[in-house]
Chains A and B, each alone.
Chain A
Amino acid sequence: MQLLRSSRLTGIILIVVALISLPYWASRYWVLVMLLFSLNLALSQMWNLLAGYSGLISLGQQAFIGLGGYALAVFSIYYGFPIWLSIMIGGLVSVLFALLMSAPIFRMRGVYFAIGTWTVAETLRILFSNWKYVGYGMGLFVKPAYSLSFNTIYFTALGAGIGSVVLVYFILRSKLGLGLMAIRDEETASETLGVDIFRCKLNCFLISAGVTGAVAGVLYLHNIFIQPYSAFGIDWTVRLVFITIIGGIGTIEGPIIGSLLYVFLQQWLSEYPSVSLLILGAIAIGVILVAPKGIMGSIQEKLGFEILSPRRK
């Protein structure tokens, strides 16, 4: 067991080192692929934290992606704030908005929560496309991002990707994580044993919103151009849902596998984006019908093998 753990640790370190040194030995194309992988990983890990561990199916993650992207654009262009500060402000704005939105949205359950979050995001989309300050629907160019090198953006994205995995790992091993797992196993019993369900779920919602907002800032360093119809579009959440379900909802490794699959499929079918979404949709439905725990969940169930176990040994 000790041997297995140390070899597992060596494997993880090797992969991380390989990813960090990637720009120095791989082609620019592979760096781009891994950049997209890292961003998708960070965002889908946050959806996984909500849907997989807190039971909150949010279809409104694009609200925070849009807010984070616009915070970067507005603060770096209009006020000349440093880029990294603008990204952090994006995270903060997302947390504050999530807090504001939680007052009505946490009164809704299940399906109501899903469509409620989606409607909030759609409302933001309409507001931003009618808001003169952010250039209506025409959007904004994040010009200050041109000063950054491609490698800087890659390292930031990689940091976000790895950071999201580490964050979820530690959340699950913390008191909050214990509470979440207790709620998942038996909601009523956990409440009688003193788990504050509302607070646990709210904390997850806020963490997920903040990280999503900040990661969106990094995303728009790469995208350069932000426009309300794409920034607040449901397409983002579609992507996160498919990645997480196919990889394995409620597992830390699921979003990793799912993001890899997603990025490769997207690159392979880059000329036919609608075909790749079509295939992903079909795979996702197939996964729910045949193996509802996704790729990683099924592997764990069969082999009892977890790369990152949230359990205390």
Chain B
Amino acid sequence: MLSFLSELKVPITNGLLLGGLYGIIGIGMSMIFGIVRLVNLAHGDLIILASYLSLVTMTLFPVSPLLTLIVVIPAMCVIGFIVQYYLLNRVLGKGMNPPLLVAFGLSIIVQNLLLLIFTPDARTLLTSISVKTLPIGSFLNIPVVYLVDFIGSIVTIALLSRFFNRTYLGKAIRAASDDEGAAQLMGINTKSIYAIAMGLAMGTAAIAGVLVGMTFTFYPHTGPEYLIMAFGVVIVGGLGSLLGTFLGGLILGLAQILGAHFLGPGFQLLSGYLILLIVLTFKPTGLFAKG
């Protein structure tokens, strides 16, 4: 039993660290799902768009991918604001399907735009830390890039939680999400609040995109993979809880790495999808949903 556990030490550590990355992939989608009641089917593609924006910035200024966030985060925030304000806001309140299908169309547009500009070649945001490992004790080596993902995710989620609980804007966003009518009566312009929320969500997508680009290779068609993963994080973690989203990420990360460990690398994605389907079937409100 003990040897069995020590054999699993590496996959469990890697799974948890990777789960941190999934947490930040899902957090933007969770916010929009919770606040605007919209499933942003373009979320995965917008994350990959951020990866490409970082790539472009890196070719213009030879800096580390993490530093390109100074450019990529504001750019993605603006894109998110514009998309929500001029496109998605117009179909809100027209039933469930129009917003879903508009986001789906947006996803295809982003994908094919990336394909047109950047060709289908696989890219990666190469850094000096990409190949380094950090020895912990004598028999556990952690890829440094996984550790960066995990820390980046925790920091972002902590900042977001502070923002939602302490600032006026954060409270206004929560109010608009709780009761749109009452928030409007209190003088909150919910339409622009939604646009700001989307801008914020795209800011987290920017961080996710840069971390994804540093950790894995990406090409224009990887978006949907991260969309399903983000949706998995949201579903497993439950709506309306930042911590739940983070835990959802950890569960999916663990499931994937353990699946790959026992069944072979081809099944890494599969075990994540199966967990998602199981939770969708038996507890679609999520494992850590409030109320």
Query: Taking A112-B280, A119-B276 as contacts, is the C-beta distance between A274 and B101 under 8 angstroms?
Result: no
B179 to chain A, nearest CB (A): 21
Stretch at the interface among B53-61, B105-113, B207-215: B105-113
Q: Are B228 and A238 in contact, CB atoms less than 8 angstroms apart? A: no
On chain B, the residues within 8 Å of A241 by CB distance are 101, 104
Inter-chain CA distance A57–B99, complex, in Å, is 12
Q: Are A115 and B231 in contact, CB atoms less than 8 angstroms apart? A: yes
Q: Are B101 and A234 in contact, CB atoms less than 8 angstroms apart? A: no
Q: How large is the interface on B (under 10, 10 to 19, 20 to 34, 35 or more residues)?
A: 35 or more
Instruction: Give chain A interface residues in 241-289, CB to chain B under 8 Å.
Output: 241-242, 245, 272, 274-275, 277-278, 280-282, 284-285, 288-289
Question: Is B284's beta carbon under 8 Å from chain A?
Answer: yes
On chain B, the residues within 8 Å of A126 by CB distance are 266-267, 269-270, 273
Report the number of A-B residue pairs with Cβ-Cβ less than 8 Å.
107
Question: Is A144's beta carbon under 8 Å from chain B?
Answer: no
Closest A residue, CB atoms, query B220: A274
Q: Are A130 and B228 in contact, CB atoms less than 8 angstroms apart? A: no
Q: Are B91 and A289 in contact, CB atoms less than 8 angstroms apart? A: yes
Inter-chain CA distance A284–B276, complex, in Å, is 29
Q: Are A118 and B96 in contact, CB atoms less than 8 angstroms apart? A: no
Q: 3 closest pairs, A vs B, by CB?
A: A104-B281, A274-B112, A281-B109
25 pairs from A and B in contact (CB 8 Å cutoff): A55-B97, A107-B281, A108-B280, A108-B281, A108-B284, A111-B39, A112-B284, A114-B39, A119-B273, A119-B277, A122-B273, A126-B266, A126-B273, A129-B266, A130-B266, A241-B101, A242-B108, A274-B115, A275-B116, A278-B109, A284-B101, A288-B91, A288-B98, A289-B91, A292-B98
| Given A107-B280, A108-B281, A126-B273, 7 additional A-B pairs, CB 8 A | A108-B280, A119-B273, A120-B277, A123-B274, A281-B108, A289-B91, A289-B102
Q: Which residues of A contact B (CB under 8 A)?
A: 51, 55, 57, 59, 104, 107-108, 110-112, 114-116, 118-120, 122-123, 126-127, 129-130, 234, 238, 241-242, 245, 272, 274-275, 277-278, 280-282, 284-285, 288-289, 292
